[in-house]
Structure 1
């Protein structure tokens, strides 16, 4: 792992994510990029991130953007000053764009290995209508995304939940999962959630999980079948039962209408659990 991207909106959750990224960087030797994206309405599209005025912008727009960028740079300086990062290379960038567009472009151009983002979570109508930039990144990023809600002063992972239906090919994600397990020397708990609508015999499921573990050469793992009404609830309840430090899941990154129809358990977990969630997009 060489490059970690930390998008920040200067919220407490984003600061928590930055602290976790620093802990990971100290273990891996990775460099961190702090990125803040100024998302502007259509009428400020004639302004650049450096404060240069483009042709066609008016005086009020110039004043608004100059003040916004000045305030943003002060917040970035304060974040760099107040969060210790000795021994970790940290660079920062401020840009004017749509956050998801800039984040996707940065992942590609900088060859980012991991995105660490804060998540406020949401529920009800707000979740359905608005969504969050974190969800969008989980859905679209070509690299693993670790979402963090609460402050974890000494980020250390000992117990990891790896939840899946274990029916699809997850080889691309498994290499990333094993990398995190080895990074922390953690134990992986493979878990299949048995629900009334998709029930399988425990014996068949355990054989399937054992086959998966052997196929991918897992070490230090447990096999688990957990009964619950819904998959998301089962993952959360199981993770809480074993006091998991992290949940890992693969996501297919569906977008648009297909996403609304099918939903995404990984994205729901990002919203609803206080446990850090590592998602890997299946190409």
Structure 2
């Protein structure tokens, strides 16, 4: 699939880098990646004492030492020699802003980040990138074995912008032979009891309304081969509810999209998608953003 030509991979000089490099290799051909930028961003590029003890050969300035360390890792894990790569270590007081600025400068189509489950780290940079990146983002989890997905879940709200996500999902589903499973989370509104109906009765009304929305959506955009699952959220968080459904259906990837109400908003995730990002550190997650729609907002962001 020739969709993402240039990818930027964020590294943090921990064991997670080893995992991320190995998993990235699995996706290179499928995603059509032709150039990789490996980037480490930190407030201070001084090489940690522990790394210097283990690698006494690193006597160059911090940025050069870190770049050499990353290049050694790529050779260690047999990163394809035919791939065009650039390695850089950047310093910035606000690592997220610095990382996103480099994504803009390099005009990348995809950012690949790791999500930790047991390794030390807050994951705040990956979460920030997922929310604000000017391009699509692939989050690869720590413990799941490398491999392409066979069942992809798409949380859906049936807005017109969701059509882009379905189109993209159908393409990768067809090329991988993977099953595509749309999922819609519906809720019973507060105050339903004033209608004189029980919670169960009103939940059926909400489900029927969601089914009608889905039917109109697939007819409008010609996605007739898909069947949606409708999940009642009866109190737990939206992100947690969708992640539980992903586990139940044995999905091995979640496909999300940015909200599409306006071009200026397309860079940011909707509230439900953001909650899924925050809740999920066990399943690979591809956040698809239509790159051209986000760049104007992204440029304005850095002029503020």
Same fold by TM-score, threshold 0.5 exceeded?
A: yes
1:278 and 2:289 aligned: no
**Does the 8 Å CA contact 2:6/2:34 hold for their aligned counterparts?**
yes
- Larger relative contact order (Cα-Cα within 8 Å, sequence gap ≥ 6): 1
Choose from 210, 217, 239 the match for 1:205: 210
| Superimposed CA distance per residue, residues 130-173 of structure 1 (whole angstroms, 9 cap, x where no aligned partner) | 77111111121121111111255441211111002224633444
**SS of aligned partner of 1:118:** strand
**Does the 8 Å CA contact 2:116/2:123 hold for their aligned counterparts?**
no
Taking the TM superposition and a 5 Å limit, the aligned residue runs for 1:163-174 are 163-167=155-159, 169-174=161-166
| Superimposed CA distance per residue, residues 4-61 of structure 1 (whole angstroms, 9 cap, x where no aligned partner) | 22111133334333333222212244224242234235xx8xx9xxxxxxxxxxxxxx
Aligned mates of 1:4, 1:179 — CA distance in 2:
19
1:141 and 2:133 aligned: yes
**Does the 8 Å CA contact 1:189/1:223 hold for their aligned counterparts?**
yes
Taking the TM superposition and a 5 Å limit, the aligned residue runs for 1:92-103 are 92-98=86-92, 99-103=95-99
TM score, norm. by length of structure 1: 0.73
- Compare 74-83 and 210-219 and name the one that shifted more: 210-219
Structure 2: runs of 5+ lacking an equivalent: 47-58, 191-202, 261-268, 294-304
**Does the 8 Å CA contact 2:144/2:283 hold for their aligned counterparts?**
no
For residue 220 of structure 1, report the CA deviation from its aligned partner.
Answer: 5.0
1:259 maps to none
Choose from 20, 24, 27 the match for 1:21: 24
1:115 maps to 111
1:82 maps to 76
1:40 maps to 43
Choose from 142, 149, 152 the match for 1:150: 142
Aligned mates of 1:267, 1:18 — CA distance in 2:
25
**SS of aligned partner of 1:221:** coil
TM score, norm. by length of structure 2: 0.69
Superposition CA RMSD, Å: 3.4
